[in-house]
Amino acid sequence: MHTNETVEHIDPKQKYVRLKSGREERYDYLISTLPVPLAYRILKDTPDVLTSDAQKLNAVSVLNINIGVDRPQVSDQHWIYFPEEEFIFSRVGFPKNFSKAAAPEGTSSMYIEITHRPEEKLDIEKAFVRSIADLEKCGILRKGDRIVTRHVIDIKFGYVVFDEHRQRRIQDLIEYLESRDIFTAGRYGRWDYYSMEDSILSGKAAAERVQAKMGSSR
């Protein structure tokens, strides 16, 4: 197992994956959780029409701001949605309400989701300051609450957009990958709105498809 690696190139004919570090990994069958548009962008020897279709798939990006607050149980909820335009975020959640191990005793952990268009580059500092102000406005944070830690992730592929193009083309895109012995799994590999449980089951299904393919080739 190798972590903190980035896939740069997939050659389905020679059956190898090249990483940005320069290392190459050979494979017989590949299970990919890469977002479908990204997978097609780095896939060699692919029909232009499919590459074009993959790039037309749409998603909503998410600026994910994770914070630690120096106060216990700032909320008793798991997560809260904010559809109102007056708030910068669309959802906030409280991981420590799932598990006490998510933050030290006497503190709270929170994630703040700010949705945006993939081509937008948000000012992280402005977004953070506005988020704290909006959390105070809606009563989750109090004036004087101390933020003890912060970790920000800008997730390009956050939520799959179920438009007409996706409905018409996603199955063909997935089936072509499987015809090249690349089996997809997960929310972004299947380009679907999967929960964590759905993603785990799709990984199991991908493994079963590989097993079936291996069995039929013997």
Domains of the chain: total:
2
Range of the domain at 38: 7-58+161-216
Same domain as 29, residue 112: no
**pLDDT 10s per residue in the chain (218 long)?**
888 999 999 999 999 999 999 999 999 999 999 999 999 999 999 999 999 999 999 999 999 999 999 999 999 999 999 999 999 999 999 999 999 999 999 999 999 999 999 999 999 999 999 999 999 999 999 999 999 999 999 999 999 999 999 999 999 999 999 999 999 999 999 999 999 999 999 999 999 999 999 987 66
Same domain as 130, residue 64: yes
Same domain as 115, residue 81: yes
Same domain as 143, residue 181: no
Q: Does residue 1 lie within any of the structural domains?
A: no
Question: Which CATH number characterizes residue 53's domain?
Answer: 3.50.50.60
User: Which of 112, 131, 159 finishes a domain?
Assistant: 159
Q: Does residue 201 lie within any of the structural domains?
A: yes
Indicate whether this model's pTM tops 0.85.
yes
Amino acid at position 203, single letter: G
175: exposed, middle or buried (C-beta count within 10 Å: 0-12, 13-18, 19+)?
exposed
Token pair belonging to 65: 């701001």
Question: Which CATH number characterizes residue 113's domain?
Answer: 3.90.660.20
Distances in Å between the Cα of 1 and the Cα atoms of 5, 180, 207 are 10, 23, 17
Same domain as 98, residue 12: no
